[in-house]
Structure 1
Amino acid sequence: MTMANAMFLLLAAMPFLSLLLLSPSLALNQDFCIADLPRGDTPAGYPCKPQAGVTADDFYYRGLNTTGPTINPFNIGIASAFVTKFPGVNGLGISAARVDFAPGGVVPLHSHPGGTELLFVVEGTLASGFISSATNQVYTKTLYKGDLMVFPQGLLHYQYNLGNDTAAVALSSYSSANPGLMILDFALFANNLPTDVVSKVTVLDELEVRKLKALFGGSG
């Protein structure tokens, strides 16, 4: 084989080599890594619990079998199976959550900086949508029992219950063990930024900002 042919083959193989090197699912060099939560998180994830101490319970979680804590004033309950509550998903690039909507319940505009979300409607009917970052285009759908909708990583999205007298339930899966959660209302009005600063950066009246800070527990 000539040097030129060898270089051509190497260049042709580069995309496949990159995939093997960079794909998290292919880069695992051990079966699992149960998160050792007390040792703290790192940029590479939680360190592994010693394998001698791993049991079947590390791969099992009952936290989604009931409604999670209520988030006011939105009339929803959220139970999560992120790595901080389900250490078995550490390093596997997956996690889950359950959302229970009371009549009129709303998941307000929020984002998951660390992962894409796939939402499945278990019961009820939901209005749902997300906003693109490039053009602020809004993509909305009405979701019925059995429907799926995907929300790309980092984009603002929402859901709310369309049933006036009925509850709704949805399950979400994520492409990260710890996708993160930033709710826009809390980010804006549960902080200690001075009211005049929030007013300037949101173009809201200062009186309205004070009302919202009081509602969401902010100060300043």
Structure 2
Amino acid sequence: MASHIMLLSLLALTCSVGVLAFEPSPLQDFCVADSNSSALVNGKGCKDPKLAESKDFSFSGLHLPGNTSNFLGSNVTPVNVAQVLGLNTLGVSIARIDFAPWGLNPPHYHPRASEILTVLEGTLHVGFVTSNPENRLISKVLQKGMFFVFPMGLIHFQRNVGYGNAIGMAAFGSQNPGAVTIANAVFGSNLPIPSEVLTTAFQVNKSVVDFLQTKF
């Protein structure tokens, strides 16, 4: 009887650890992504570790400012497994975010990662919204050297509130955090979300929905 209880306890512990792990732990030193592999796995297939090179683990360009000459006045330079194949299975990635004066990284969320944003230059107003039913905004104005945490899956934003350029460096707990920009997803989906869904959800006229869909 005692052995059965011990077995069930170990099984429960194993299941709980599996639930807490968002990405599988590596079972080898590294798993450089094989861009030529057609294997359908949760992540990317590995190339022969004997063929790994230093370029698989490095990236050059984060010192370069991003092009912010767009209507948002911001630019994200991602460094995830798509850019650095050696990040495969390691569960981390980063991104540089450049802001023109009053530039905005619009409301979005990362479906597979929490984020830590560190301000390298400028002043940013940042925040995230808690889930239903509270929908509470938690926000702060960050100066150079400060950081802020955005929990996984929650809508958040960053805005430059200074008259000069701003730079942020974001770290993610995933090799491929993903990003869903709310306005693009809702009003720019392919195929479009039916207008009757959006008019009811946002309590606006169809003409407003039609106008927004032309923007995205």
TM-score (norm 2): 0.85
Q: How far apart, in 2, do the equivalents of 1:41 and 1:198 lie?
A: 38
Partner of 2:148: 149
Tell me the alpha carbon deviations over residues 89-116 of structure 1, each in whole angstroms, 9 at most, x when there is no partner.
Answer: 1100000101000011011110000110
Q: 1:15 to 1:62 in 2, by over 3 A?
A: farther
Tell me the alpha carbon deviations over residues 102-132 of structure 1, each in whole angstroms, 9 at most, x when there is no partner.
Answer: 0110111100001100110000111111011
The amino acid across from 1:91 in the alignment is T
Measure how far apart 1:72 and its partner are: 3.7
The amino acid across from 1:30 in the alignment is Q
Given the alignment, which residue of 26, 37, 40 partners 2:35? 37
Identity %: 35
After TM superposition, the structure 1 = structure 2 runs for residues 156-195 of structure 1, keeping only pairs within 5 Å, are: 156-163=155-162, 165-191=163-189, 192-195=192-195
Q: 1:44 to 1:97 in 2, by over 3 A?
A: same
Query: Where does the alignment leave 5 or more consecutive residues of structure 2 unmatched?
Result: none
State which drifts further: 102-111 or 201-210: 201-210
State which drifts further: 72-81 or 203-212: 203-212
Q: 1:63 to 1:103 in 2, by over 3 A?
A: same
Measure how far apart 1:207 and its partner are: 2.1
The amino acid across from 1:203 in the alignment is Q
**2:52 matches 1:54:** yes
Query: Where does the alignment leave 5 or more consecutive residues of structure 1 unmatched?
Result: none
Partner of 2:114: 116
Q: 1:208 to 1:19 in 2, by over 3 A?
A: closer
Q: CA RMSD in A?
A: 2.6
Measure how far apart 1:79 and its partner are: 0.3
| Aligned residues of 1:95 and 1:176 also touching (Cα < 8 A) | yes
Q: 1:63 to 1:40 in 2, by over 3 A?
A: farther
Measure how far apart 1:19 and its partner are: 7.4
The amino acid across from 1:158 in the alignment is F
Measure how far apart 1:69 and its partner are: 5.1
SS in 2 for 1:37: coil
Aligned residues: 212
Tell me the alpha carbon deviations over residues 34-87 of structure 1, each in whole angstroms, 9 at most, x when there is no partner.
Answer: 111232574421001222321011010114232345484211011001111221
SS in 1 for 2:36: helix
Q: 1:133 to 1:25 in 2, by over 3 A?
A: closer
The amino acid across from 2:145 in the alignment is G
| Aligned residues of 2:23 and 2:174 also touching (Cα < 8 A) | no
Q: How far apart, in 2, do the equivalents of 1:71 and 1:198 lie?
A: 30
TM-score (norm 1): 0.84
Measure how far apart 1:11 and its partner are: 6.7
Partner of 2:125: 127
Partner of 1:66: 64
Q: How far apart, in 2, do the equivalents of 1:26 and 1:39 lie?
A: 20
Tell me the alpha carbon deviations over residues 152-208 of structure 1, each in whole angstroms, 9 at most, x when there is no partner.
Answer: 100001110111x21110000000000110000101121223444432332222222
| Aligned residues of 2:127 and 2:140 also touching (Cα < 8 A) | yes
**2:202 matches 1:202:** yes
Q: 1:43 to 1:131 in 2, by over 3 A?
A: farther
